[in-house]
Structure 1
Amino acid sequence: YYGGEAAFPAGWKEMMAAVDKGDSGRFNHQEILHPRGWDLLNFLMDARTGLGRFREFRISNYQLMMDLIDYCRNHAIEQIMMLPDVRERVELYFQQEEKSQEQIRRCATEYGNLVVVDFRQEPTIYAGNRFMVYALFPGANISIHVLAGVKNQNTVFATGKSILNRSSNTNIGELMLEYGGGGHANAGTCQVDNDRAEEVLQALIARITAEG
C-alpha cells in the first residue's frame, strides 16, 4: 500500500516482516511457547497479554509504543529488548509464564474441536500471550474464554479461532451477534446475564462442535 520494499529502508525488512507476522497471527507452536525477539515484543505490547494488571510500569504501554516508533527506526531488535522499559515487561512476562500455562490447563475443558477456558472462579488471571491456549491444546481449532464481566454483573464469552489449526467452519462474528455481541469471522465476543450464562455456553458448545 505504501510502496512495498522500495519505499522503506533495507534495514526495516526484518521489522516489517515481524509486523506482518503479528498482524496475521502467523506464529508457530514453538514461537508461542518460547517467544524471542520481535515475537516476544509483539506479545509484550499486546494489551490482551495482561501485563498491565500486575504492575504500574514506569511508563504506560501507550507511551512505550510512542517511544518505540522512533527507537525502532534506528535500532536492532536486540537493542530494543534491552531498553529498561521493555526489560521490566520481559521479566514479568516470564515470571508469570508457568503460572499462566498451569492455569489454562486447569481451567480448560475440551469438547471435540473446541476448548473452553473458564476463568470465572479465578481470583487472578495470570499474564500470557493470547495464543497460548492453542499451543497447549493443538487439537482444538477454536476456543471460548469464559470471563466474569465488570463487577461480576454479567458473563463474557470471548471466542477465537486457532492460529495453529485453521480448520474451524464457524463464523464467530455471526454466532456472537445472535447473543447480542459481534466480531468477525475469526474472533468475537458476547456478554449475557449471569442467569443465562450456562444455557448460552451449552448452546455455543453445541453449535461450534456441530460445525466442526
Structure 2
Amino acid sequence: MRIVTRPDFDGIVCAALLYETEKISEPVHWVEPNDMQKGRVEVREGDIIANLPYNKNCAMWFDHHYTNRPDTPFEGSFAIAPSAAGLVFEYYKDKFQRDYTELIRETDRIDSADLTLDEVLRPEDYPYILLSMTISGRDHSDQRYWERLIQLLRNCDIDDILRDPEVRERCETVVEQNRAYQTALRQHTTCKQHVTITDFRSYKKTPRGNRFLIYSLFPEAVVSVSIRRDIHDREKIIVGLGHSIFNRNCHVNVGLLLSRFGGGGHRGAGSCTVREDRAESCIAEIVDTLMANQPNE
C-alpha cells in the first residue's frame, strides 16, 4: 500500500496523517496533478490518493478541489473544503494518538489562503506559514526533505520542527528568497485593469517566493496570472491563476476556467500546462476571461 500525493504542505500533512492510521508499506509516491489528469501516473490497486484527481485503481481517495468532483462511488472523502488534510483528519478522527488539531487548523488556513497582510509580508513571525514555504514541488530532488517533514510532523511540535537544522536552514533561505522575489515580481509583472500578469518565461530557473506577495504589491488587482516554463520540459508552459486574498472581488471560477486547457484547481486558485506553441492563444483567452470578470458557474 502506498500514499500517492502531491508535494505541497497539504499533501505532506495528508501523508503524515495516513501513516498514523493505515499500514503503509512503501514510500510516498509524489505526483503532480497535471500528470494525474493526463493519465501519466501508474496507480496500483491498494494505493491511497490524497490531494490529487481520482483514479479508479486506488483503494481510497481524499480530495477537495472543485474540478475533481467525483462521478463514481469511492472509499474515502471528497468535499469542497479548506484542505484535503482536514478531510483525512475528520475521516480518521478517532484513530489518532497525537493531537493534530492545531496542525489541521493551520493547514486549512494555509491551503485556503486565509492569511493576513502581516502574515504574507512577515512569514518568519508565523511558524506554520514559514514551514509551509520551505516546500516547493518544482524540484523532486527535495523528496528526502518532504519525507523528513512527514516524520517530524508525526513526532514533534512546531517549535521542535523549526529547531531541526535542515528545517532552520531552509526557513532562512525562504526569508532571503522572498526579498529577491519581490524585486522579480516588480520587474516582470504588468497590471491590466484588475489582473496582474507575471511572466517568468525568460528565466532559466524561475524565481521562488511567497505566492501571495503579488497581492500586497498590487492591491488594486483581484486576480493574478503567473507564467513560467516547466523545469523538466522547457517547451511546456505552466500558467497559474489565483484570486487576491486581500481584494476578494474576482467572480471567475479559475479551476473551472483552467479545465478548458487541461488543468484545474479550486474556485480561487489553479493551474494548467500547455505546449509552447499554444501558450500565447491560451494565455490571451484566460486574461480576456479574467478581465471580463463574469461568473462562469
- The TM-score, its normalising length taken from structure 2, stands at 0.59
Q: Is the contact made by 1:100 and 1:125 (CA closer than 8 Å) also made in structure 2? A: no
> How far off its partner does 1:100 sit?
1.1
* Two-structure CA RMSD over aligned residues (Å): 2.8
Q: What secondary structure does 1:168 align onto? A: coil
The one-letter amino acid paired with 1:40 is L
> How far off its partner does 1:13 sit?
5.5
Residue 213 (structure 2) aligned to one of 132, 136, 146: 132
Aligned length: 201
Residue 66 to residue 174, structure 1, CA distance change in 2 (3 Å): closer
> How far off its partner does 1:113 sit?
1.4
**Residue 69 of structure 1 pairs with residue 159 of structure 2:** no
> Which region of structure 1 is more displaced relative to structure 2, 154-163 or 101-110?
154-163
Alignment partner, residue 20 of structure 1: 108
**Residue 184 of structure 1 pairs with residue 274 of structure 2:** no
Which whole-Å CA distance do the structure 2 matches of 1:156 and 1:12 have between them?
A: 34
Q: Is the contact made by 1:64 and 1:85 (CA closer than 8 Å) also made in structure 2? A: no
- Aligned positions of 1:38-57 closer than 5 A: 38-45=128-135, 47=136
Q: What secondary structure does 2:182 align onto? A: helix
Provide, for residues 147-198 of structure 1, a one-character-per-residue CA deviation record: whole Å limited to 9, x for no partner.
1234322322111212222221011122212233333322222233323322
Calculate percent identity across the aligned residue pairs: 29
Alignment partner, residue 288 of structure 2: 206
Alignment partner, residue 236 of structure 2: 154
Which whole-Å CA distance do the structure 1 matches of 2:281 and 2:196 have between them?
A: 17
Which ranges of structure 1 fall in alignment gaps of 5 or more residues?
none
**Residue 102 of structure 1 pairs with residue 190 of structure 2:** no
- The TM-score, its normalising length taken from structure 1, stands at 0.80
Alignment partner, residue 114 of structure 1: 195
> How far off its partner does 1:2 sit?
6.2
* Structure (1/2) with the larger helix percentage: 1
> How far off its partner does 1:24 sit?
2.3
Residue 93 (structure 1) aligned to one of 158, 161, 174: 174
Residue 14 to residue 146, structure 1, CA distance change in 2 (3 Å): same
Which ranges of structure 2 fall in alignment gaps of 5 or more residues?
1-89
**Residue 60 of structure 1 pairs with residue 141 of structure 2:** no
